Copies of this chain bind each other. A is one copy, B any other.
Amino acid sequence: MPTEVYVAGVGMTKFGKSDLSLPHLMVEAASRAILDARVSTIDYVFIGVMSVEEFTGESNFAALITDRLGLPGIPSSRVETASSTGSAVFESAFYAVASGYHRNVLIIAGEKMTHLPTAQTTRILAEVIDRGERKYGASMPSLAAMITRRYQHDAQLSDDRLQSILSKLAIKNHYNGSLNPYAQFRKIITGDDYFGSRYISTPLRTYDCAPITDGAVAVVLTLDKKSIRVTGLGHATDTLAVRHRDSLTSFKSTRLAAWQAYNMAKLSPKDISFAEVHDAFTPFEIIGTEDLGFFPHGEGWKAVEEGVTSIKGRLPINPSGGLKARGHPVGASGLAQIVEVAQQLRGDMEPNRQIPGARIGLTQNIGGLANNNLVTILERTDRYRPIPVYWKPNYDPGDINPRPVPEEPSSVDSGILETYTTLYTTPEGIPSPLTLGFLSIPDGRVIMARSRHENLKIGQAVKVEKEGDLFYLQPSPPPEKGSEGAKKWLHRALSPTERKEENP
């Protein structure tokens, strides 16, 4: 029988642009959580922060925060997994309590980002990206945009329908944020606002991307029985390079983490009352709800259209406003998701945003471009417990097999365009706009390439040339109709449904 771990207290600062220092924000969040927890001792302080050295020029941050808390002496460690740091630090703190060596553990996660120029912040955030993709000027929004375009293609959504779905997501999460006093954006937005916003990286607009945010969050975990218990934890990695993945439209790291969390909790997706899903980019909320087993793959967008995931819907997603509207201090977002879930479960919310009868909540937090993801499940301890299940996922959770990283090819003549984007907000030192694509090459590998043409189409044949250490693509005439090459290439360009129709 494993040791049970409970949430004793939670606290956070308002998210947004702040003139306060990161230590100040973190002490504020911690003070609230300690007061809320009503514990008289803290045995360990876990600190979650992603890029504090680069954002603020401080290292040795665990000792610094413990000192600023007026608690020098207490042991303290910093945990980091890029943008899933908030959940990862919660996980390590959970183990410290579950091991029986610490009774009350304080977790504080935060980030200070708004004080730097956007291009510099974009460059720092882009350090999470595989070097082979980063050297092309790829940023987080551009990789997310390429994933979105492939999702659109596979789900056979027209441009207008995709934009309509994404706008509904942005409007939903901004609405939820308008109700959340801790959210960075508390304004309702309309379709006109959405369609009037500029492209960051096609097809993603400003309102599809989580903002740059300052903020801090804290949680106290304890061995003593409290109203909220941590029942599920899952954590999995994936290849650093997006181009080396099995799928561009589903994240194996979420699927594996969800499977672990459900099985630790002995729950299935249908037991979840509501969830906080990592919407650093609006389409990631759709992919997340599919990977978590809430909806079939390629169909999560229907739930958005039908309002299923609205705060008054059957399965509210991101009642907090999500990363989109609550804001995204990168190292803190995962812990903010956990705080939202704990407060909803405790019934702490104002009536206009309280999810009635919520019994079990889930968070999904993405690290990097979905290569270090965590899923966390919290439950009320005073409510009916579902019959324990061993959940068999309705998808392949993916395998963990040692396998070599594919070598980068030294020269490439031609390929098929798997997906592409035009990036307008480029990292420091890269001219804008920048068109990037992923190409399948004849031996089955996938490479990244730049393009001087913006007018591209998934599935089209392209010629490839190398300039320096970068590949450049340009559209080429398709292979002769009816040839083997044409058949193979045509097949790759089909969406999954079209492929099924091709081979019934």
Interface residues of A (CB under 8 A from B): 2-3, 44, 50-51, 53-54, 57-64, 66-82, 88, 91-92, 94-96, 98-101, 124, 127-131, 233, 235-241, 252-253, 256-257, 264, 367-368, 371-372, 374, 398-405
Q: Do B99 and A2 have beta carbons less than 8 Å apart?
A: yes
With CB as the reference atom, state the residue of chain B lying closest to A1.
Answer: B100
Which of B59, B92, B101 lies in contact with A50, CB distance below 8 A? B59
CB A57 to nearest CB in B, in angstroms, measures 6
A264 surroundings in chain B (CB, below 8 A): 101
- A57, A63, A67, A68 interface centre (most CB from chain B within 10 Å): A63
A257 surroundings in chain B (CB, below 8 A): 75
Q: Do B81 and A79 have beta carbons less than 8 Å apart?
A: no
Q: Do A372 and B81 have beta carbons less than 8 Å apart?
A: no
Bound: A371/B91 CA distance, A: 24
Q: Do B101 and A70 have beta carbons less than 8 Å apart?
A: no
Q: Do B67 and A76 have beta carbons less than 8 Å apart?
A: no
A73 surroundings in chain B (CB, below 8 A): 236-238, 252-253, 256, 398-401
A-B contact list, 12 entries, CB within 8 Å: A3-B99, A53-B54, A54-B59, A59-B127, A64-B240, A70-B402, A70-B405, A72-B252, A76-B235, A77-B81, A77-B88, A98-B99
Contacts known (A53-B127, A54-B54, A80-B80); A74 close to B405, Cβ less than 8 A: no
Contacts known (A2-B101, A72-B237, A73-B400); A63 close to B78, Cβ less than 8 A: no
Q: Do B240 and A75 have beta carbons less than 8 Å apart?
A: no
Q: Do A75 and B371 have beta carbons less than 8 Å apart?
A: no
A99 surroundings in chain B (CB, below 8 A): 2-3, 94-96, 98-99
Q: Do A60 and B127 have beta carbons less than 8 Å apart?
A: yes
Q: Do A238 and B405 have beta carbons less than 8 Å apart?
A: no
Contacts known (A82-B63, A95-B99, A372-B62); A74 close to B2, Cβ less than 8 A: no
Which of B2, B74, B81, B128 lies in contact with A237, CB distance below 8 A? B74
A129 surroundings in chain B (CB, below 8 A): 60
A92 surroundings in chain B (CB, below 8 A): 77, 79, 92, 95-96
Q: Do A239 and B400 have beta carbons less than 8 Å apart?
A: no
A404 surroundings in chain B (CB, below 8 A): 70
12 new A-B pairs (CB below 8 Å) besides A63-B128, A64-B130, A95-B95?
Answer: A50-B59, A59-B127, A59-B128, A60-B128, A60-B129, A60-B240, A66-B237, A71-B237, A73-B253, A76-B372, A77-B88, A95-B96
Q: Do A72 and B400 have beta carbons less than 8 Å apart?
A: yes
A75 surroundings in chain B (CB, below 8 A): 235-237, 257, 374
CB A96 to nearest CB in B, in angstroms, measures 4
Q: Do A127 and B66 have beta carbons less than 8 Å apart?
A: no
A64 surroundings in chain B (CB, below 8 A): 130, 240
Give me the 4 closest cross-chain CB pairs, A-B, nearest first: A73-B400, A75-B235, A60-B128, A98-B99
CB A310 to nearest CB in B, in angstroms, measures 32
Which of B69, B76, B398, B403 lies in contact with A81, CB distance below 8 A? B76
A239 surroundings in chain B (CB, below 8 A): 67, 72
Bound: A462/B128 CA distance, A: 50
Which of B69, B71, B79, B400 lies in contact with A71, CB distance below 8 A? B400
A399 surroundings in chain B (CB, below 8 A): 73
Bound: A304/B405 CA distance, A: 50
- A59, A98, A101, A128 interface centre (most CB from chain B within 10 Å): A59
CB A257 to nearest CB in B, in angstroms, measures 8
A74 surroundings in chain B (CB, below 8 A): 236-237, 400
Which of B63, B78, B80 lies in contact with A240, CB distance below 8 A? B63
Bound: A92/B96 CA distance, A: 7
A401 surroundings in chain B (CB, below 8 A): 73
Bound: A60/B330 CA distance, A: 12
With CB as the reference atom, state the residue of chain B lying closest to A71.
Answer: B402
A240 surroundings in chain B (CB, below 8 A): 60, 63-64, 67
A96 surroundings in chain B (CB, below 8 A): 92, 95, 99
A44 surroundings in chain B (CB, below 8 A): 235
A82 surroundings in chain B (CB, below 8 A): 59-60, 62-63
Contacts known (A53-B54, A236-B75, A400-B74); A67 close to B101, Cβ less than 8 A: no
With CB as the reference atom, state the residue of chain B lying closest to A70.
Answer: B402
CB A382 to nearest CB in B, in angstroms, measures 25
With CB as the reference atom, state the residue of chain B lying closest to A397.
Answer: B73
A51 surroundings in chain B (CB, below 8 A): 53, 59
With CB as the reference atom, state the residue of chain B lying closest to A401.
Answer: B73
Bound: A99/B129 CA distance, A: 32
A91 surroundings in chain B (CB, below 8 A): 77
